[in-house]
Amino acid sequence: VTYVRNAWYVAAWASDIGKGSVLGVQILNERLVVWRSITGELTTLTDRCIHRLAPLSLGRCEGEKLRCMYHGFLYDRTGRVVEIPGQDRIPDGLRVSVYPSTERHGWVWVWMGDPAAAHTHLVPPVPGMDRSGYVFGRGQLDYNAGARLINDNLLDLSHTSFLHAKSFRMSETWAREHPKVTSRERGVVSERWFRNEGALGVIGSEPKVDTYFCFEFFVHGVLTQSFKTYALGTADALNGERPDDDPTQEYFTTQAVTPLTDKTARYFYMFATRQRRDDQTEYDSAEWATIETGFSEDKVMIEAQQRNIDLAPDARCVATAGDKCAILFTRLVKTLVRQESTDPTPEGT
């Protein structure tokens, strides 16, 4: 499995790393320590003290520095060793690697490729937990499956009709009709109308409405989905084009799939719905329970899929009409990976 390295990966929820906090994470098989100094500066370093390879994530933030709590080596924010207890001289070049990191949309992002190419405008422009007028729910799952399988799941939402038949109870339109799919420079977009169905496509829900659904999927594993409900007939009146007017109902969800190792991944997700009252602060608990059920259905299926693949590594997939979005994204990834190998320090675009 190949992942684009010149990309921002979600390492953690920003609110989980307060001032002075130290957190060990893993991305693309590499162990990293993400920490926030007393003044709030984020730093990401290789999570391995140069002395005896102990994890710095078991260390302690001291002001703007991070101390390994095994034998006390002290590192600054550039990864340089600035103190060795019991030794006056510090040899040149004692350092761990620094990974560019930044905070956006409620997440801490880490750049896994060439630091010179780590432009913050390449952080996927997704709506996050900082939007006003919404209530939010968030969740996180660790998968015993490769990130690629989760990405494939999210790129081909025809599974909604079957895998989530009992939880989200959405119609077979997801599988029977195909969305309009468009390539972007660092992602793919998928758009569609659900005509004359329950709000948000829920089977049996009344009154019938038209729902516009759009998702945008960015390298490497970040996406946002938007559901907007309109009066019956809107889709046809717009000739199936994208609506501009305010919807009667709306929610969006932003998600990130971070590869931990080749066969494990961490899946971050948040959902947002419009506040129903000014004082509403929490996601509706019944709706949230349905979301969690749906997400566990994906996990069960995808982890079983991974086990199947491990047991039959030579088995080949068969592409279908519904796979278009996944195929476009895979092609984009290949292009970007090839660019990285020929031009390892590209300008951001």
Q: How many Cβ atoms sit within 10 Å of the Cβ of residue 8? A: 27
Verify binding: residue 234, its own copies, rule CB under 8 A: no
Nearer to its own copies, 116 or 304 (CB): 304
Verify binding: residue 23, its own copies, rule CB under 8 A: no
Q: Which one of 20, 23, 72, 128 is in contact with its own copies (CB under 8 A)? A: 72
Query: Cα angle vertex 110, ends 104, 112, to 5°?
Result: 145
Asked if residue 230 lies in contact with residue 245, where contact means CB atoms within 8 angstroms, the answer is: yes
* Minimum separation from the CB atom of position 48 to its own copies (A): 5
* Minimum separation from the CB atom of position 1 to its own copies (A): 14
Q: For residues 105 and 19, what is the distance between their CA atoms, to the nearest angstrom?
A: 18
Q: State CA 203 to chain mean position distance.
A: 28
Nearer to its own copies, 74 or 272 (CB): 74
Binding string, residues 87-116; x marks residues near its own copies by CB under 8 A: x---x--x----------------------
- Counting residues that bind its own copies (by CB under 8 A) gives 51
Q: Which one of 175, 189, 202, 337 is in contact with its own copies (CB under 8 A)? A: 175
* Minimum separation from the CB atom of position 66 to its own copies (A): 13
* Minimum separation from the CB atom of position 185 to its own copies (A): 27
Q: For residues 28 and 9, what is the distance between their CA atoms, to the nearest angstrom?
A: 10
Verify binding: residue 311, its own copies, rule CB under 8 A: yes
Q: Which one of 13, 20, 58, 196 is in contact with its own copies (CB under 8 A)? A: 58
Q: Which stretch binds its own copies (CB under 8 A): 66-74, 98-106, 226-234, 284-292?
A: 66-74
Q: Which stretch binds its own copies (CB under 8 A): 215-223, 267-275, 318-326, 329-337?
A: 318-326
Verify binding: residue 29, its own copies, rule CB under 8 A: yes
- Residue holding tokens 């516009």? 212
Verify binding: residue 1, its own copies, rule CB under 8 A: no
Q: Beta partners for 252? A: 226, 272
Verify binding: residue 286, its own copies, rule CB under 8 A: no
Q: Which one of 18, 39, 53, 341 is in contact with its own copies (CB under 8 A)? A: 53
Q: State CA 160 to chain mean position distance.
A: 19
Verify binding: residue 305, its own copies, rule CB under 8 A: yes
Nearer to its own copies, 43 or 171 (CB): 171
Amino acid, res. 66: L
* Minimum separation from the CB atom of position 175 to its own copies (A): 4
Sheet of 107-111, strands arranged across: 8-13, 107-111, 101-104
Residue (of 79, 94, 28, 30) closest to 262 by Cα position: 28
Q: For residues 248 and 199, what is the distance between their CA atoms, to the nearest angstrom?
A: 10
Residues 129-168 binding its own copies (CB under 8 A) are: 152, 156, 158-159, 161-163, 165
Verify binding: residue 54, its own copies, rule CB under 8 A: yes
Q: What is the dihedral of CA 292, 149, 183, 273, to 10 degrees?
A: 10
Q: Which one of 61, 82, 84, 189 is in contact with its own copies (CB under 8 A)? A: 84
Q: Which stretch binds its own copies (CB under 8 A): 7-15, 32-40, 63-71, 242-250?
A: 63-71
Asked if residue 327 lies in contact with residue 217, where contact means CB atoms within 8 angstroms, the answer is: no
E-assigned strand segments in the chain: 8-13, 22-27, 30-36, 42-46, 60-62, 65-67, 74-75, 81-83, 98-99, 101-104, 107-111, 134-143, 180-184, 187-197, 209-218, 222-230, 249-261, 264-274
Sign of CA dihedral 94, 96, 97, 101: negative
**Site residues (vs its own copies, CB under 8 A):** 29, 31, 47-48, 50-55, 58, 67-72, 84-87, 91, 94, 152, 156, 158-159, 161-163, 165, 172, 175-178, 300-301, 304-305, 307-309, 311-312, 315, 317-318, 320-322
